[in-house]
Amino acid sequence: MHELSIAYSLVQLAVETAEQNHLKKVEALRLKLGVFSGVVKEALEFSFDIATEGTIIEGARLIIDEIPLKIYCPQCEKEYVLKKPVPVKCPKCSIGTDQILEGKEIELYELVGG
Amino acid sequence: MSQAIEQPRIVKIRENVLKKNDILARELRKRFQEKQVYVVNIVSSPGSGKTTLLTEVLARLSQKFNVAALVGDLATENDAHRLEQSGAKVKQITTGTVCHLEAQMIEDSIKNWDLNQLDFLFIENVGNLVCPSSYDLGENLRVVLFSTTEGEDKPEKYPTIVNSADIAILTKIDLLEAVDFNKESFYQSIYQSRPNMKVFEVSAKKDMGIDQWIDFLIEEKMKAFKKMEV
């Protein structure tokens, strides 16, 4: 389980950003989590509370937006969002592709300050 | 006098949580590229044969090249001792409770190394099919190992690591029949997560497929640094 390490990195990034923006308190953090990020949502939520202890973001809510896999199909020359992460194939022409556009991110994209 | 109600402030960030690791990995990759060190990151579950295969590969490659290995393990140094038998330079990274290697650990380990004296660096990650997938170590090639004894559906259970890898190796191929391994469904299970993935089939114990794997590594190294040899 590496979610605790990820949670500490997340908290560190959030604290730095909050300080740079002179936020006295942080109500919520919004995180984009790709289905192929290798991170388990529930484990991260659990770890988050531990990692925030004693920091200025203690008590903040972690809002996780799960990002599905978005691929580019070289055959159709189009982008598709896959309903399920596997198989990594074009839903139209069933061709497999290595071109993943979204779905691997662990991205902090918003802080809601008080 | 009504007090001004403070609106919640929203700060847009858009930053990768593992940014620090990614930046460091990028720096490492640049350094390796400049010194023409080809770096291979090997991931698998415990017991799938990383160390056995690597011992063999190190022994053969070191006849012509300068090779080294970093080996990650939670607690012991047993793997490093086994790898040292190959004659290659080996360094253990004991991670304690950490279930994966991070770019910082690689940087710390090679701090005093002369990279000019190195052609190949193999990084044996901690035996784990989940956590190492999120951490870039600055490698050229990420290899995921599966053994015939683990069953053919293992890749399907860990799609993220398969997708994050460049190459797969099926180890203990000599035990194929003994464990009634269905190769066709194994390949299907790989292609689910990583279509068209190149797969090598090897047995380190019975010397099967090792030379093909080594030839591939040498070829990839040449390709990786071709542009620089003008």
Q: Where are the domains of chain A?
A: 2-113
ipTM of this predicted structure = 0.85
Q: Tens digit of pLDDT per residue, chain A (114 long)? A: 789 999 999 999 999 999 999 998 899 999 999 999 999 999 999 999 999 999 999 999 999 999 999 999 999 999 999 999 899 999 999 998 989 999 999 999 999 987
Whether residue B164 and residue A95 make contact (CB cut-off 8 A), yes or no, is no
pTM: 0.90
In which order are the strands placed within the sheet that holds A78-81?
A78-81, A70-73, A100-102
pLDDT at B228 over 90: no
**B194 contacts chain A (CB < 8 A):** yes
Question: Is the alpha carbon torsion for B150, B156, B158, B163 positive or negative?
Answer: positive
3-state secondary structure of A31: strand
Binding residues of A: 2, 73, 76, 90, 93
Query: What DSSP assignment string belongs to B169-181?
Result: EEE-GGGTTTTT-
- Return the residue matching tokens 């979610």: A3
Whether residue A113 and residue B12 make contact (CB cut-off 8 A), yes or no, is no
**Candidates A6, A107, A113; nearest CB to B15:** A107
Residue B138 neighbours by CB under 8 Å, 6+ apart: B24, B25, B26, B27, B28, B29, B31, B32, B39, B103, B106
Q: Where are the domains of chain B?
A: 9-226
Interface mutation target, options B13, B95, B98, B105, chain A, most CBs of A under 10 Å: B13
Whether residue B195 and residue A95 make contact (CB cut-off 8 A), yes or no, is yes
Rg of the Cα atoms in chain B: 20
**A82 contacts chain B (CB < 8 A):** no
Pairing of the two strands A26-34 and A106-113? antiparallel
Topology of B9-226 in CATH? Rossmann fold (3.40.50)
B62, B65, B70: which is closest to B87 by C-alpha? B62
B157, B214, B197, B203: which is closest to B179 by C-alpha? B203
CA distance A76 to A97: 11
**Candidates B130, B134, B193; nearest CB to A88:** B193
Range name among A74-78, A103-107, B2-6, B179-183 with the lowest pLDDT average: B2-6
- CATH class of the domain whose range is A2-113: alpha beta
3-state secondary structure of B84: helix
Binding residues of A for Zn(2+): 73, 76, 90, 93
Task: Give the DSSP H/E element, type plus range, for residue B19.
Answer: helix B19-34
Task: Give the DSSP H/E element, type plus range, for residue A108.
Answer: strand A106-113
3-state secondary structure of A21: coil
